[in-house]
Copies of this chain bind each other. A is one copy, B any other.
């Protein structure tokens, strides 16, 4: 339990290291094309070309048009721009919006803000496995519904939503559809040439790209109100000097992801199975999310009669998350797991293991042993009184 021990990082859903080729590409750009892509001179145009190339790389990953890519600082900003921007743009037509209770904070808090501004938000519940039944969405759509926002892959549980089915319903009702793709783009197949999606949030640092850069996919013809002002960059939708090196890094990460995500998924599936096989026998353990069909990079489990914070400390030097990593400051039991029907106590004991490209069988084996040992040790501390 000491900080000196070698860290075992199983928190890839929080953030990933830079791919070596991405880092190299960024260095190259930093050295030779560190210019402002908006500058109207040779140097600026060099950087502008790099930005344009990165847009084609990201567009190729998601099978979209490069012109539909808007650069942002990450998925939080993309979600804010998509939701506030679309709601604002369409409010004269109606003020009803739809989302789920299990969305990331960067969606939930945006809708809460819109509620304060006079919008009406319907918060849909998932089934016990975390999925939204399309009929439930269908039933909630009204004449004045303007926007539906549903995430692709849940950051806590790995639950995968039926984006095609949900999108089809939105199209049918002519409602805009935003998808928080922070946990999916670069990790699973995302084909926007067939998926009926209008807006999708993307962040590079979840798929081995740089932190501090993301994108918003904006389908052709979709209008948004800008949320930041100043300068003519990016069709006035999102001003600010473009970080050409970060954008180049995102582009490179996208190209790498396109080539290897299928292999990554096989690797992750095997790791997840090994981990689950190793801890499934712990008394009172419960898997949070889908048994099958979820994103294999995440395994989220609760366990009876264990205090979550002590469990986390007992697991050191394993680096895993309790609740949402993006929100782990708060000691509140995860609202995502509560929405899946878990009790406060179950939600409080939840641990999210999230694996990545570099995760090895050995690390999984250490994780298994640590988990079993930690649960046993904490149970020893409180026999009988923990019923």
Contacts and interface: CB of A to CB of B under 8 A. Distances in A.
Counting chain B CB atoms within 10 Å of each CB, which of A18, A79, A106, A239 scores highest? A239
A322 interface: yes
Interface string A221-254: 0000001111111000001111111100000000
Counting chain B CB atoms within 10 Å of each CB, which of A40, A108, A113, A330 scores highest? A40
B40 A80 contact: no
A210 B112 CA distance: 33
A325 interface: yes
A109 B231 contact: yes
A146 B126 CA distance: 46
Contacts of A325: 36, 38-40
Contacts of A330: 232
Contacts of A85: none
A319 B43 contact: yes
A99 to B, nearest CB: 13
Given A205-B241, A230-B106, A212 B246 contact: yes
A231 B16 CA distance: 19
Given A35-B15, A106-B229, A41 B316 contact: yes
A44 B110 CA distance: 25
Given A15-B241, A34-B15, A245-B211, A109 B41 contact: no
Counting chain B CB atoms within 10 Å of each CB, which of A105, A228, A232 scores highest? A228
Contacts of A3: 42
Interface string A30-59: 110011101111111000000000000000
A321 interface: yes
A11 interface: yes
Interface stretch (A69-77, A266-274, A283-291, A294-302): A69-77
B231 A319 contact: no
A41 B312 CA distance: 8
Contacts of A35: 9, 11, 14-15, 319
A360 interface: no
B109 A326 contact: no
Given A11-B35, A44-B319, A231 B113 contact: no
30 contacts: A7-B43, A9-B43, A11-B39, A14-B36, A15-B39, A15-B241, A23-B27, A36-B326, A39-B328, A41-B316, A41-B319, A42-B316, A42-B319, A76-B239, A76-B240, A77-B240, A79-B230, A104-B230, A106-B229, A108-B230, A110-B229, A205-B243, A210-B243, A211-B241, A212-B243, A212-B246, A227-B227, A231-B327, A233-B326, A241-B326
